[in-house]
Amino acid sequence: MKTSAPLINRRQMIARAATTAAALALGKQFAPLLAAPEKRRFKIGACDWSIGKQGDVSGMELAKKIGLDGLQVSLGTEADDMKLRKKELQQQYLEVAKKHEVEVASLAIGELNNIPYKSDPRTEQWVSDSIDVCQGLGTKVILLAFFHKNDVKRDQAGTDEVVRRLKKVAPKAEKAGVILGFESWLSAEEHLDIIQRVGSSAVQVYYDVANSTQMGYDIYKEIRWLGRKHICEFHMKENGFLLGQGKVDFQKVREAMDEIGYTGWMQIEGAVPSGQPMFESYVANRKFLRTVFKEG
C-alpha cells in the first residue's frame, strides 16, 4: 500500500538544513586529507634504487609500507639486458602494484650514466624500447640520466649527438603519449636549448632540486622559467640530509610549483643522513612532503 511522506514543520526544516550545511563544511575541511591517491594533485613516490630495490618488484610492497603513492622503477642494467622489457615482468609489477594499492609512477634508465646515450649505439634501442615498456605499465614519463660518463655539460659534440638521437625517437614517444625526461647538470637555459633543437613536446626536463642547487642555479626561478610545459616530473632530494633539513627551501619550491600549475609526481631520492636507516628516513621524508605539499 502506498503511503504519503510525513509532513515536517518549519523548525525541523531549519534544523535539517543546518545539519546538512555543517556536514558539507566538515567534508570540505577534511577533503584533502581523505582524498584518494588517484585524485591527489601531488603524488609522492621514490626511486627504486634509493630504497634498495632497483629492478626488484618487491619495491612496490616497500613503497606501500613507507606510505608512498608509487615507485619510480628502473628499466634495468646492461647485465640483465634491461629486463623490464620482458612482458612477464611488466605484468608482475602491475599485479603487485594492484595488490598493494600503489602505482608504477614512472620509468628510469639510470644505466645511461655508465653506458652513454651520447655515444653508445645500444642505448638508442633501450630508449626506444622503454617507450613500449611505459605503455605496458600504463605510465607516461621516462627519466633519461645524463651524469657520469653520459654528462653533456660542456660537451658540444655529445650534446649534438643526443639531439640527433632524440629527434629520431621523439615521434614514437609523441605517438605513445610518453615524455622523455632529460635529467642532467645543465641549467634551465641549456635544457631548453636542447628541447628547442629537438623540436618535440615529448622531450622535457626531469627537474632535480638538489642537483640544480648543487650547481648554483636559482631553482625557484628555473622552475618558474621552465614552467609546466617543460617540466615533466621532480626529484625531491637532499644529499646527506632529510628533506627540509638541507639546502633546499621546499616551501619556496611549492610556491614556484603553484605558480606554474604543476600537478603530478615527485620522487624522493637520497635524503638519508649518514648512518641513519633508510626506512625511517623515507617515512620522515614522505611525512614532510605531505606537510608542505598538502592538497587544496
Q: What would the pLDDT profile of 10-65 be if each residue is shown by its tens digit?
A: 444 444 444 444 444 434 443 443 345 567 799 999 999 999 999 999 999 999 99
167 has pLDDT over 80: yes
pLDDT at residue 230 in the model: 98
| Average pLDDT of the chain to the nearest whole number | 90
| DSSP for residue 205 | E
Residues present in the chain in total: 296
Instruction: Classify domain 37-292 at the CATH topology level.
Output: TIM Barrel (3.20.20)
Find the distance separating the first CA and the last CA of the chain, reported in whole Å: 49
- Nearest-angstrom CA–CA distance, 210 and 120: 28
State the pLDDT confidence band at 136, using cuts at 50, 70 and 90. very high
Average pLDDT over residues 221-245: 97
Three-state DSSP at 32 gives helix
State the pLDDT confidence band at 295, using cuts at 50, 70 and 90. confident
- Nearest-angstrom CA–CA distance, 153 and 3: 80
- Nearest-angstrom CA–CA distance, 204 and 246: 27
- Nearest-angstrom CA–CA distance, 212 and 253: 12
Q: What would the pLDDT profile of 67-114 be if each residue is shown by its tens digit?
A: 999 999 999 999 999 999 999 999 999 999 999 999 999 999 999 999
Count CB atoms within 10 A of the CB of residue 13. 10
pLDDT at residue 296 in the model: 63
- Nearest-angstrom CA–CA distance, 4 and 33: 41
Average pLDDT over residues 237-249: 96
pLDDT at residue 36 in the model: 56
Nearest to 68 by CA among 108, 94, 40: 40
24, three cell numbers: 558539507
pLDDT at residue 86 in the model: 98
Percent of the chain scoring above 70 in pLDDT: 87
State the pLDDT confidence band at 283, using cuts at 50, 70 and 90. very high
Percent of the chain scoring above 90 in pLDDT: 86
Strand ranges in 29-83 using DSSP code E only, listed in sequence order: 42-46, 70-74
Contacts of 210 (CB under 8 A, 6+ apart): 235, 237, 238, 239, 246, 247, 248, 269, 270
- Nearest-angstrom CA–CA distance, 233 and 64: 20
pLDDT at residue 40 in the model: 77
- Whole-prediction pTM value? 0.86
